[in-house]
Amino acid sequence: MPETITTLNPANEEIIKLYDTMSDAQLLDRLDAAHHRFQTWRHTSLQERQDHLLAIADGLDRKQDEYAHLITNEMGKPLSQSKAEISKCAAVCRYYANHSGDVLAESTKALDDSTIASTYTRPLGVILSIMPWNFPFWQVMRFVAPNLMTGNVCMLKHAPNVTGCALALESLMKEVGLPQDCFSVILADHKQVGQVLMDYRVRGVTLTGSDRAGKAIASQAGEALKKSVLELGGSDPYIVLDDADLNLAVETCVASRLINSGQTCISAKRFIVTKSVAGEFTERVIQAMSRKSYGNPLDDVDLGPLAREDLRDKVHSQVLQSIDQGAKLALNGQIPEGTGFYYPPTVLTSVSSGMPAFDDEIFGPVASVIEAQDEAQAVAIANQSRYGLGAAIFSKDIERAEYLAAHEIEAGSCAINDFVRSHPAATFGGIKDSGYGRELGSQGLLEFANIKTVTKQS
């Protein structure tokens, strides 16, 4: 019997729509169709793939308002941020349409006086993507755009609460003329996802989600010897040094922490501040966070609700556990009365190792302030984490900050006097429990590719 998927508006707790998961037979049909499509898609020219990506970008632009409202209704993101997400999706399509040729081009070199080696970049086949709800269009398109250009076909298993977003993307692909089954959506339960992953027609898998989900998918992919890319959680440290511009540091840290109502893997999580500026910085953070508004995400607010009730409850539990273990509540930290899964901007101080606010990822609008004696201790605290996704350093000594970012901070991305963000042209990914593999940039074209060497005698 199929399971029922329910999409729920987190702002008013009203049901949006019900869907049924697919039967095993329907999933096999989807796999078979995708596999057969690959046999023709892999032979298409780069120009043809480019034309399709540009058509997708234009379609996203045309339907920006419709898709933004869908995002906001399904997962609660403020509408202005949902619109920005759609614009970013169009941008990643145009980036790969215009910047893939050189990366995918054949290269040739002489190995010796009589042997020439040519390198070809060839697609692998059907790639399964398992995507989260927090950026329901962007997370998909940053995978789809480079992989379509490489010549792969893409299959999406999306988070259940954004099923409408998944199906809207599938509909768009058909509407703009992308060949049938180059992109397909499956509505499947956990057991069925495992079966799809293990099917011989699936040649790779990418997942964005929790470290627990990543370990499960990595185990299955490893058993089947299939390439996997994992972008998992983060407890990103933002280091504020003695010579930082405090106005800039406060504004940037707060903005990063509250993007998407705090539900962002690469947002600032731990504010690590050297002792000489800790008091002033903390007070300014509390003031800045207290001025942020939350409410109906269709209105002009800074924060909407969290995406699900259980996610809001987990955030609150992590806050309470941290307080029980010695953290001090400096701002808010209570579940508001009324309808909707809201959580106010919250600040914890006196945070230390062993607390959820230090050790874990709090996926909500909670800032954890940690005092360090000096630069060396600040870096040590930053690296005292099982995660390694993003980080930032605030200092007027740019040369010193760049050295720390490049050589000392254990993270896949590090910003200086700014917050970490993904960009189509910049390679993105994490280390440690934040995953492995890279997305975006030129590497995004190559993760699911066969880099083939052909030698011949001259």
**What angle (nearest 5°) sits at the alpha carbon of residue 355, between those of residues 350 and 356?**
120
CB-based burial label for 61 (10 Å; 0-12, 13-18, 19+): middle
Contacts of 141 (CB under 8 A, 6+ apart): 60, 89, 92, 93, 169
d(C-alpha 161, C-alpha 158), whole Å = 8
DSSP of 411-434:
SSEEEESS-----TTS-B--EETT
Reference 41, options 143, 144, 125; nearest CA is: 125
Told to judge if 402 belongs to the known catalytic residues of this protein, a careful annotator would answer no
Catalytic residue among 93, 154, 265, 414: 265
Among residues 113, 122, 125, the alpha carbon closest in space to that of 154 is found at 125
The verdict on whether 265 is a catalytic residue reads: yes
Sign of CA dihedral 132, 208, 212, 392: negative
* Orientation of helix 138-150 relative to helix 79-99, angle to 10°: 10
Tokens at 141, concatenated: 């398109």
* Amino acid at residue number 220: Q
Contact (CB, 8 A) for 335 and 312: yes
Q: Which one is catalytic: 93, 154, 165, 231?
A: 231
- Residue 250, C-beta contacts closer than 8 angstroms, at least 6 positions apart: 281, 284, 285, 288
The residues that are catalytic are 231, 265
